[in-house]
Amino acid sequence: MKSFRTEIENPVVEKDIIELEKKIRAFREGELNEEKFRSLRLARGVYGQRQPGVQMIRIKLPYGKVTSHQLRRIASVSDEYSTGTLHITTRQDIQIHYVDLERTPELWAELERDQVTLREACGNTVRNVTASETAGIDPEEPFDVSPYAQALFEYFLRNPIGQEMGRKFKVSFSATEADTGLSYMHDLGFIAREQIGVRGFKVLVGGGLGAQPRHADVLYEFLPQEQVIPLMERVIRVFDRYGERKSRAKARMKFLLKDIGLDRFRELLEEETPGLPIRELPIDVSDYPEPEPASQAPAPVELEDQAAYQAWKRTNTLAQKQPGYAAVGLRVFLGNFTSDQARQLAGLIETYAASELRLSLRQNILIPFVREEWLPNFYQELRKIGLAAPGYNTAADITACPGTDTCNLGIASSTGIASELERLISVEYPDFIHNPDVVIKISGCMNACGQHTMAHIGFQGMSIRTRDKRVAPALQVLLGGGNKGGGNGLFADKVIKIPSKRGPQALRLILDDYLRNGGGQSYDAYYQGQGQAYFYEMLKPLSDITDLQPEDFIDWGNQEKYEKAIGIGECAGVVIDLVATLLLDAEEKIADAREALASGKWAASVYFAYSAQIHAAKALLTSEEVSVNTHASILEDFDTHYVASGRGFGPGSFREAVLRMNQQAPDADFAREYLEQARAFISQAAAFRQKELSHVS
């Protein structure tokens, strides 16, 4: 494999990539079990595909911001290591597919030349920080949330408190009360607010989508900006300690909030406060780079089709708060564009904009700082590269996850039905290309990566079994979701399940009824007025499966007969319970704690030492088949099974000893003392385990 030591200037990044290379080699040589390796590679953005032998690489792009240099780098990497196709996700990342595992360290090193990372793009980590794509240009925003999203991203990247949680953790920033960052469906959501000249945020916690969507609770109506990062650290510490770890289906923050309630959650946050490394962290926005719009005026152009231009301008341009500038929205079909388009787009944003763009939560691209008088030129150039389709963020612009194209968890094709529905709207309902009031989203399974549960009209990939045991692709139709603003949202009602090939008929019935009976109302008001039962009766005939035709057993975009095939999902990593692996993990954490201590990173050292003790205690409990669901239960159960029973641990409480890290802010003396405590315990636990094994043999 290639050496990265001469190519990467940041020694922390260099070490990270070299470590990935070593772990790949250890895995290939049988020195590292598959589950442990999976957990490690996921935390580095390397995700298994439905197709064997290749990987999906998720590129982490905080709040969707991409510079022209970064875009060229990503395009080059896609050509060299993948297929030349870039996929924008609903979390403002870019994914590339069909990558050889052995080449992932080299790929990562190439990206880092332009400060693009894979770190914590997947796995049980703090995922990409998302934000309103209009941040910094929105006429309604009290201030630009971009610097705050950037600061939060930087603080938690590689932070030990967020590396091995029970599940993933998602955070968002919204620029205005319109809440286009969708705070109500995030683990932690921030909505920009200003009070008496003080910048801050409304804070929501515990939201989520998936099979059991939950609306986030309001944690603070207003939190000053200097409290944002300390609050998130407390929230993650509580989630790390008390969040479910045994059952993946219940391991999200939303279930913790549901189980213990908001009041108890607040109490746990306060318990974490004394151990924080910082109580306040003001974010200096003056360090955030100012945009530099292009200044060289292009020659005026005469457009041949003024009607097409005006249609595009009406749906694809947004007024900015900066006078004289407009933001241009690119409607990216299913979030997919080519490396050639990316390279050409990089040149265009240097010539006509400010050399940067934002990826959107709806899998599109927004380009700010285009001078209004240059819009005809920009439109003409976008047409040349196939990125001038009208209908940005309208009903004709459907969001869909990759589904069965590449995802292990896909049940039915989401991209295939999305393509057909977009075609149907353009041909049969052309006026909807100007309608931003109806949001259509599609997911290939219940995990809701396509965000179907918060759509006005949503479809979820499923399967359906006939009386003669044949299996056909199906769609769950969901209606009535939507973002209400201010941190409030509605989750869609599950209305009915139908064969997938009847999806277009279902959409026709819904849109025809809306046009006929909507009376000029918003789609939200129309749906609430009619009610779920009304739509069930309307769509009920489509659910009859007594006379399915041969084509009903072939999914959209496919030629062969449908087979329901679900692999192992890797959306949130795995739980590893092998005793030897846990003890090895504990030793690695001790090494990490020593290194952090030597570097003067007291808080990181303390948290690594904490994790080491948790891993070792879990190893011994696991060896006796004690169910361990949370870190909190590990601490309690170890006292019960090992300390109170007089088995050589103690005499004091293990729980109290470990949780000393909550009682004071970390400094050099405490970090050193706490590391020694952890080291001694790991040695004792390993000796205890060895003694047990010798007795068995």
Q: 3-class DSSP state for residue 657? A: helix
195 and 248 co-located in one domain: yes
Cβ atoms of residues 18 and 164 within 8 Å: no
In the chain, % of residues over pLDDT 90: 75
pLDDT, tens only, 197-229: 999 999 999 999 988 999 999 999 999 999 999
pLDDT at residue 647 above 90?
no
Q: How far apart are CA 110 and CA 96, in angstroms?
A: 14
Q: How far apart are CA 164 and CA 162, in angstroms?
A: 6
Sheet holding 217-224, edge to edge: 130-131, 171-174, 188-195, 198-205, 217-224
458: confidence class by pLDDT, cuts 50, 70, 90: very high
pLDDT at residue 512 above 50?
yes
Q: How far apart are CA 133 and CA 669, in angstroms?
A: 44
pLDDT at residue 400 above 70?
yes
650 and 602 co-located in one domain: yes
Domain containing 316 — which CATH number? 3.30.70.3340
- pLDDT the model gives residue 384: 96
410 and 530 co-located in one domain: yes
Domain containing 423 — which CATH number? 3.30.413.10
- pLDDT the model gives residue 164: 87
Span 321-349, average pLDDT? 97
Please list the residues that pair with 462 across neighbouring strands: 474
221 and 271 co-located in one domain: yes
535 and 607 co-located in one domain: no
- Residue 363: enclosing H or E segment and its boundaries? none
267 and 152 co-located in one domain: yes
- pLDDT the model gives residue 626: 86
Look over the chain and give the mean of its residue pLDDT values, rounded to a whole number.
Answer: 92
**Rg of the chain on CA atoms, in Å:** 26
- pLDDT the model gives residue 362: 95
Q: How far apart are CA 307 and CA 322, in angstroms?
A: 27
3: confidence class by pLDDT, cuts 50, 70, 90: very low
pLDDT at residue 528 above 70?
yes
Q: Which amino acid is at 191?
A: I
Give the up-direction half-sphere exposure of residue 508: CA atoms within 13 A in the CB hemisphere: 11
- Name the DSSP class of 346: H
Span 286-302, average pLDDT? 92
How far, CA to CA in Å, does 358 sit from each of 64, 91, 226, 365? 5, 12, 25, 6
404 and 546 co-located in one domain: yes
Could you tell me if residue 300 is inside a domain?
Answer: no
Could you tell me if residue 412 is inside a domain?
Answer: yes
- pLDDT the model gives residue 281: 95
Q: Can you give 127-171 as a three-state secondary structure string?
A: CCCEECCCCCCCCCCCCCCHHHHHHHHHHHCCCHHHCCCCCCECE
Cβ atoms of residues 121 and 19 within 8 Å: no
Query: pTM of the entire structure?
Result: 0.92
Could you tell me if residue 118 is inside a domain?
Answer: no
- pLDDT the model gives residue 564: 67
Cβ atoms of residues 216 and 204 within 8 Å: yes
Q: How far apart are CA 604 and CA 160, in angstroms?
A: 6
How far, CA to CA in Å, does 146 sit from each of 234, 362, 634? 22, 18, 39
Could you tell me if residue 390 is inside a domain?
Answer: no
In the chain, % of residues over pLDDT 70: 96
Could you tell me if residue 250 is inside a domain?
Answer: yes
Total structural domains in the chain?
A: 5
545 and 446 co-located in one domain: yes
Domain containing 103 — which CATH number? 3.90.480.20
638 and 506 co-located in one domain: no
422 and 372 co-located in one domain: no
- pLDDT the model gives residue 445: 87
Cα distance between the two ends of the chain: 42
Considering 323, 353, 384, which residue would you say is the last residue of a domain?
384
Q: CA angle at residue 350 from 347 to 356, to 5 degrees?
A: 105
* Backbone phi, psi, residue 216, to 5°: -65, 150
536 and 585 co-located in one domain: no
User: Residues 358, 185, 524, 507: what is their CA dihedral angle, to the nearest 10 degrees?
Assistant: 80
| Position with higher pLDDT, 603 vs 447 | 603
- Residue 359: enclosing H or E segment and its boundaries? strand 356-359
Q: How far apart are CA 356 and CA 293, in angstroms?
A: 10
Q: Which of 651, 627, 628, 629 is nearest to 639 (CA)?
A: 651
Range of the domain at 409: 399-553
101 and 182 co-located in one domain: no
- pLDDT the model gives residue 616: 92
Could you tell me if residue 293 is inside a domain?
Answer: no
Q: Which amino acid is at 161?
A: I
Could you tell me if residue 379 is inside a domain?
Answer: yes
The DSSP line for 262-326 is HHHHHHHHHHHGGG-S-S-----GGGSPPP-----PPPP---S-HHHHHHHHHHHEEE-SSTTEE
pLDDT at residue 575 above 90?
no
pLDDT at residue 387 above 60?
yes
Q: Is the alpha carbon torsion for 115, 153, 189, 284 positive or negative?
A: negative
Q: 3-class DSSP state for residue 72? A: helix
pLDDT at residue 574 above 50?
no
- pLDDT the model gives residue 90: 95
Considering 344, 360, 384, which residue would you say is the last residue of a domain?
384
Could you tell me if residue 573 is inside a domain?
Answer: no
- pLDDT the model gives residue 562: 67
- pLDDT the model gives residue 1: 40
Q: 3-class DSSP state for residue 485? A: strand
Q: How far apart are CA 67 and CA 115, in angstroms?
A: 10
Considering 227, 256, 287, which residue would you say is the last residue of a domain?
287
Sheet holding 325-330, edge to edge: 65-67, 356-359, 365-371, 325-330, 317-319
Tell me what percent of the chain is helix, strand and coil, each rounded to the nearest 5. Answer: 45, 15, 35
